[in-house]
Amino acid sequence: MMPTDKPAARTYSRYGREAIAVLGQLIRINRIERKLSVAQLAERVGASRDLIQRIEQGDPRCGIGLAFEAAAIVGVPLFEENRSRLTLRLNEQEEKLRLLPKSVRKKATVVKDDF
């Protein structure tokens, strides 16, 4: 029989892949420094050992909630150096968002720069 075409796996940019890899490494570094085994971290996250391994290896298909949860547990700072600052940041950004347009519309008429 003919080899069936695979469903064409999703592709990711280098920047995206590297960012995920950095996060995975950070989790692994902090986990080891805190002397936790992969299985122990998995239990704390409430996930399987397999998943923690994939997160640490930078698998882009992992749920972001699980990855961030693992990061939080081993003490990897996310966007801000500590928890209270993160909360402040959230409020600041909410404020900023309030000032921006709610939706983005394309120009009705093309910009006329041809006269």
Residues 66-95 that bind its own copies (CB under 8 A): 66-69, 71-73, 78-79, 83, 86-87, 89-90, 93-94
Of 1 and 108, nearer to DNA (C-beta) is 108
50's contact among its own copies, DNA, none, with CB below 5 to 8 A by partner kind, is DNA
Residues in touch with DNA (CB under 7 A): 7, 9-10, 37-39, 46-51, 53-54, 56-57, 59, 61-63, 66, 101-109
Of 14 and 102, nearer to DNA (C-beta) is 102
Report the C-alpha gap between 20 and 26 in whole angstroms. Answer: 10
CB–CB of 26/71 below 8 Å? yes
Q: Token pair of 31, please?
A: 């986990």
43's contact among its own copies, DNA, none, with CB below 5 to 8 A by partner kind, is none
Q: Is the dihedral of CA 24, 27, 32, 36 positive or negative?
A: negative
Identity at 45, one-letter amino acid code: V
* Distances in whole angstroms, Cα of residue 7 to Cα of each of 3, 4, 40, 54: 12, 9, 35, 21
Residues 8-37 that bind its own copies (CB under 8 A): 10-23, 25-26, 28-29, 31-33, 35-37
